[in-house]
Structure 1
Amino acid sequence: MPEPTVNNSHDAVVERQFGGQAAAYLSSSVHADGQEFAQLRERVEGIAAARVLDLGCGAGHVSFRVADLADEVVAYDLSPRMLEVVAASASERGLDNIRTVQGVAESLPFADNSFDVVCSRFSAHHWRDVGLALREARRVLKPGGLAAFIDVASSEQPLFDSFLQTIEMLRDTSHVRDYTPSEWAQMVGEAGLVVTSSSRQRLRLDFETWIARMRTPDVMRDAIRHLQSQVGQEVRDTFEVASDGSFTTDMLVLWATRESF
């Protein structure tokens, strides 16, 4: 008998990487906490009967943080198993205005001008085509609507950029790219959105938790640790690499709007 066909597409890799770890992402402090949530709540609170799209929702932390301020929140993700976790947790929390929808960021199954707010947090570095996904985000956003893109940001300096992309890929084979602030500004502008503000925060990552959350194979884990020990001191200083492998990286919080004409 012929061997069963294995789906090795990028979307399948993302689902394999994240589906089985959905519960781990629900309890992850990196994903559950953050200064940016206060900004998000303030913006949503100022919109009457807000309809919010949590784009690449993961375990649903954005959805949970704004549900009490919104009329409806759509938690949208590629992984059905992530969405099952979101739905179950929303039910436990009594958040009956959260609806889950499965799909890819590059093809949103929503009508034009559907949402007052589109927010994507820690998702874009997995998207196959960020430009297309951003154009889709603009399409479903109402004129005058707000968009927030929050993600790990790479350095404008090639030395530091190469290091970050390498350890990200070794840890997680579904990783595509952490974009630099200038790349984000260009892509958002090309998508037809207008950047209103952007800021950077420092994000500390505990190495063992970071590795365990992704179930990184030992050979890849060891490769990351070896790379950390072999790069130049300026790389170790920039990322504040500790003796246990824990490190610090940049995170970008970018706000944009779809102008009204």
Structure 2
Amino acid sequence: MFRIANDAQFWDRAARKYAADPIADMAGYERTLERTRHYLKGDETAFEFGCGTGTTALRLAPSVGRIVATDLSSEMIAIAREKAKAEGPGNATFEVARPEAAPWPDGSFDIAFGFNVLHLVAEREAALRGVHRLLRPGGLFISKTPCLKEMNPLLRIALPLMQLVGKAPYVAFLSAEDLEREISAAGFEIIERARHASRGKDARPFVVARK
């Protein structure tokens, strides 16, 4: 819990700057949204964890019946609610919550999203089990995760130093194989793997898994 509280405080401090930062690879991001929409029929009840300031939830909201988007940072959620009030389609709600401690009953959702978040979750096993619990049988979990084992190895030196001075949250060094193994261990069957970057080496695998 100490690590979770520290990470929540980090993201609370970073939220306004995070909200102002542009998406680095917009074309890749749009590919991810397009492929995600391929799995949506328009009437789903959707759940997102690690939603940040709500950008992706609000982009996907018109393609589902309802979306509940969550984050551990109350400041991120405050910004997401501001954006939803200003520009949202009206079927997106934002809550401070984590999947392993979510208040909703088993099988509450048809589909779950976790974009650019799993590498930031210290208790991934519990979080993935929480997502599995929240999905109905046959429900889908769609994720896209930076796998730092596939990135610059100097990050292994830089990140601990940044964490020491409060300039970085918890970050896991995962490979795509590590990621798939953990998703499968939580009870999911992986049905799609893809890479959507529009330039350079793509270390952010897109994974679709079925409960």
Q: 2:67 aligns with which of 60, 63, 73?
A: 73
Tell me the C-alpha RMSD between the 2 structures.
2.4
Q: 2:4 aligns with which of 11, 17, 20?
A: 11
Q: Secondary structure at the match of 1:73?
A: strand
Q: 1:174 aligns with which of 164, 169, 175?
A: 169
Cα 1:120–1:203 change in 2 (3 A) is farther
Matched AA of 1:107: A
Counterparts of 1:142 and 1:60, CA distance in 2 = 24
Contiguous gaps of at least 5 residues in structure 2: none
- Residue 26 (1) aligns with residue 19 (2): yes
- Residue 254 (1) aligns with residue 172 (2): no
Q: Secondary structure at the match of 1:18?
A: helix
Matched AA of 2:4: D
- Residue 164 (1) aligns with residue 155 (2): yes
* 2:35 alignment counterpart: 39
Q: 2:190 aligns with which of 188, 192, 195?
A: 195
Counterparts of 1:78 and 1:21, CA distance in 2 = 13
Cα 1:198–1:187 change in 2 (3 A) is same
Cα 1:139–1:161 change in 2 (3 A) is farther
- Residue 87 of structure 1: how far off its partner (Å): 0.5
Count of aligned pairs: 204
- Residue 23 of structure 1: how far off its partner (Å): 2.8
Matched AA of 1:141: L
Counterparts of 2:32 and 2:19, CA distance in 1 = 18
Cα 1:163–1:150 change in 2 (3 A) is same
Q: Secondary structure at the match of 1:143?
A: strand
Counterparts of 1:51 and 1:138, CA distance in 2 = 15
* Aligned residues of 1:150 and 1:251 also touching (Cα < 8 A): yes
Q: Secondary structure at the match of 2:57?
A: helix
- Residue 249 of structure 1: how far off its partner (Å): 5.9
Cα 1:18–1:102 change in 2 (3 A) is same
**Superposition map of 1:86-105 within 5 A:** 86-105=80-99
Cα 1:31–1:51 change in 2 (3 A) is farther
* Aligned residues of 2:25 and 2:197 also touching (Cα < 8 A): no
* Aligned residues of 2:32 and 2:196 also touching (Cα < 8 A): no
Q: State the percentage of identical aligned residues.
A: 22
CA deviations over 1:149-197 (Å, ceiling 9, x no partner):
21111336xxx67533433444443123031111111111110000011
* Aligned residues of 2:50 and 2:70 also touching (Cα < 8 A): yes
- Residue 20 of structure 1: how far off its partner (Å): 2.5
Cα 1:203–1:15 change in 2 (3 A) is farther
* 1:53 alignment counterpart: 47
Counterparts of 2:22 and 2:52, CA distance in 1 = 13
TM-score, normalised to structure 1's length?
0.70
Counterparts of 1:182 and 1:154, CA distance in 2 = 12
* Aligned residues of 2:105 and 2:134 also touching (Cα < 8 A): yes
- Residue 89 of structure 1: how far off its partner (Å): 0.2
* Aligned residues of 2:49 and 2:98 also touching (Cα < 8 A): no
* 1:232 alignment counterpart: none
Matched AA of 1:9: F
CA deviations over 1:118-150 (Å, ceiling 9, x no partner):
000111122121111111111111111111121
TM-score, normalised to structure 2's length?
0.86
Structure ID, larger Rg: 1
- Residue 199 of structure 1: how far off its partner (Å): 2.0
- Residue 155 (1) aligns with residue 149 (2): yes
